[in-house]
Amino acid sequence: MSIVVLKDVKKSFGALKVLHGVSFAVNKGEVAALIGASGSGKSTALRCIDRLEVIDSGQITVAGHAVHDPALDLRKLRLDVGIVFQSYNLFPHLTIEQNVMLAPCSVKKIAKSKAQEIAREALERVGLAQKADNYPEQLSGGQQQRAAIARSLAMEPKVMLFDEVTSALDPKLTGEVLKVIEKLAVSGMTMIMVTHEMSFARRIANQVVFMHQGLVHEHGTADILNNPATPELREFISHDL
């Protein structure tokens, strides 16, 4: 059963056409990797799924929400969709635990004691339980990124979106964050990730969506990374070797 469906999605920024009719679907519990060169439209496609960008035409449904509908209840959509960016966006004046508690308290109106319990559990899942009382500046980049993932998990989303979450990290910290995402995949979390980590995509993605010039150029299981059908994907992968 598809939990995320994009149908013929088009998006322009002024005269610049970024998405030329993008279609793909992700089933519940699947991990989809969006790959492609910079400017291929993959991050824009991801941002459209969470309605951070409004599409020009086409349809997007996510966990039963018609994202393309102007009457969409954004609050309800955001309760079901978590998104983690390249920049951690943690509040520097709050401890890690307080950062994670914030949304359950303010958005879901959960009692503070319950929110604290949820935050501890989320931090445990990303291996940061012992850092709950630290402030963001006391954490490494990898730990801050894991805290950002915990903040999304605390909202118990049905779908998690990751936009190049490791691109600002060095290889050791990247490995730390990818380990957390891998654990989420094993737990059955539905995830769509824009990534440059090809070996990671090979390992955990149920499907790989290769975007090229605003279109889904090639699409299939992770095996397409070993046996690309088009010269464009072949060339893209060759830069990764």
| pLDDT confidence of residue 230 | 94
| pLDDT confidence of residue 239 | 78
Residue 200 φ then ψ, to 5°:
-70, -45
* 74 in Cβ contact with 62 (< 8 Å): no
| pLDDT confidence of residue 22 | 97
Fold of 2-91+158-238: Rossmann fold (3.40.50)
Taking Cα atoms as reference points, which of 141, 52, 133, 50 lies closest to residue 98? 133
Beginning with the edge strand found earlier in the chain, give each strand of the sheet holding 31-35 in spatial order.
81-84, 159-163, 190-194, 31-35, 207-212, 215-220
Q: Where are the domains of the chain?
A: 2-91+158-238
| pLDDT confidence of residue 66 | 96
Taking Cα atoms as reference points, which of 158, 157, 156, 163 lies closest to residue 177? 163
Residue entry with tokens 């039963």: 64
Output the DSSP codes for 136-196.
Answer: GGGS-HHHHHHHHHHHHHTT--SEEEEESTTTTS-HHHHHHHHHHHHHHHHTT-EEEEE-S
* 60 in Cβ contact with 49 (< 8 Å): yes
Mean pLDDT, contiguous 10-residue spans, the chain (241 residues): 95 96 96 94 95 96 96 93 90 96 90 93 94 95 93 94 88 89 92 92 94 96 94 88 50
Residue entry with tokens 């998405």: 19
| pLDDT confidence of residue 240 | 66
* 143 in Cβ contact with 129 (< 8 Å): no
Record the pTM: 0.93
| pLDDT confidence of residue 166 | 87
